[in-house]
């Protein structure tokens, strides 16, 4: 038995309908038709819930696949099809959201926030946070303290702060010209 749905007809009209009914809607990927076994979807949701409950832990594909009772490759494909983003990108979104909240609402040191959100390196945390949000962790905290964020309903504020991870961070960095690729690094070391 399989469960599926398909968007038929004018795709733009379907997007407008969802947008007007739900407020803000972001389409991740081009998942126009999905057909998956309900049991598999339950197992994928179990893995997603485990990541959501403990985003600070290491969640390699092998561990997630074990939780979902699927092979690693099948789990990665099915997760992306079901939720619109690969598992690593979903986890990164959770970590960035939690770090942003802690930066805005607490006075904890940035290094402590990085560690409790799952980063092993402060440098990696700072670079990834800046790449995803557009501001450094320090700037995020300063903006919250100076009140540069205007009062808006909480649901709109959360959606506005949600990291836009439609592409991988490394792809975003390369597109924006702010990072180096492996070939550029290798060329520099050869000089």
pLDDT digits (tens, 9 = 90+) for 167-177: 666 676 777 77
Q: Which two tokens stand for residue 35?
A: 């057909």
Query: Where does residue 151 rank: exposed (0-12), middle (13-18), buried (19+ CB within 10 A)?
Result: exposed
pTM of the model: 0.62
The domain ranges of the chain are 38-84, 93-190
Domain 93-190 fold is Arc Repressor Mutant, subunit A (1.10.10)
pLDDT digits (tens, 9 = 90+) for 69-108: 999 999 999 999 999 999 999 999 999 999 999 999 999 9
Of the two residues 140 and 154, the one the predictor is more confident about is 140
DSSP alpha helices (H): ranges in the chain? Answer: 11-22, 38-53, 61-68, 72-83, 87-105, 110-116, 122-133, 137-146, 154-161, 169-176, 182-190
Rounded Cα distance, 49 and 37, in Å: 18
Q: pLDDT for 25-73, tens place per residue? A: 333 443 433 567 899 999 999 999 999 999 999 999 999 999 999 999 9
Helix (H) or strand (E) holding 24: none
DSSP assignment string, 78-130: HHHHHHSS-HHHHHHHHHHHHHHHHHHH----HHHHHHHTT-S-HHHHHHHHH
Interhelix angle 72-83/87-105, rounded to 10 degrees, is 60
Q: Do the beta carbons of residue 98 and residue 54 sit within 8 Å? A: no
Per the model's pLDDT, the better-predicted residue between 188 and 115 turns out to be: 115
């Amino acid at each position: 038995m399989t469960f599926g749905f398909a968007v038929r007809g004018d795709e733009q009209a379907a997007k407008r309908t969802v947008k007007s009914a739900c407020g803000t809607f972001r389409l991740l990927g081009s998942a126009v038709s999905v057909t998956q076994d309900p049991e598999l979807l339950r197992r994928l949701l179990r893995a997603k819930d485990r990541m959501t409950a403990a985003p600070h832990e290491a969640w390699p594909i092998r561990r997630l696949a074990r939780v979902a009772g699927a092979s690693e490759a099948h789990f990665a494909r099915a997760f992306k099809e079901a939720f619109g983003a690969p598992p690593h990108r979903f986890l990164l979104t959770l970590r960035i959201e939690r770090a942003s909240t802690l930066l805005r609402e607490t006075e904890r040191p940035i290094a402590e926030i990085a560690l409790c959100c799952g980063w092993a390196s402060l440098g990696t945390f700072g670079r990834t946070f800046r790449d995803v949000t557009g501001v450094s962790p320090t700037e995020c905290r300063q903006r919250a303290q100076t009140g540069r964020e205007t009062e808006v309903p909480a649901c709109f504020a959360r959606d506005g702060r949600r990291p836009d991870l439609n592409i991988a961070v490394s792809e975003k960095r390369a597109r924006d010209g702010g990072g180096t690729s492996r070939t550029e690094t290798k060329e520099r070391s050869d000089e």
